[in-house]
Structure 1
Amino acid sequence: MSSGPVALTAMVENAGDATLTYQFYFGDGTNSGTVSASSIDHDYPRAGTYTAHVVVIAGDNDNSASASTTVTRTTTVTVNPQPGVVNAALSIAFANDHRQVPATVTLDASASEAPEGSTYCFDFGDGSAIDCSQPTVTHTYTTAGTFTARVTVTSSEDASIEDTAQAAVTVVEGDETTAQLVVSPTTALVGETVTFDASASFAASGESIVAYAFDFGDGMTSGPGSEAVVTHAYTAAGEYTPSVTVTDSAGTTKQAWLAVQVSGAPQPETPAGAASGGSGSLGWLSLMALLGLAWRQRRV
Structure 2
Amino acid sequence: LKIWFNGVTKFDGLGTVTLPAGSSATVNFPTLILPEGSTTVKVAIDPSNVISEENETNNERTQTLTVASTPTPSNNPPTADAGPNKTSKVGQPVTFNGSGSTDSDGTIVNYSWDFGDGGSSLGAIVSHVYSSPGTYTVSLTVTDNSGATNTDTAIAIITEDQTTPTPPPTTNKPPKADAGNDVKAKVGESIHFDASKSTDADGTITKYSWDFGDDRYSDEKEPLHSYATPGVYKVVLVVTDNNGETDRDVIYVTVEKEDASPIKGVPGFEVPGVFGAAALVYYYFRRRKN
**TM-score w.r.t. length of structure 1:** 0.29
User: RCO greater where, 1 or 2, for CA within 8 Å and sep 6 or more?
Assistant: 1
Asked which structure has the greater CA Rg, the reply is: 2
Structure having the larger proportion of residues in strand: 1
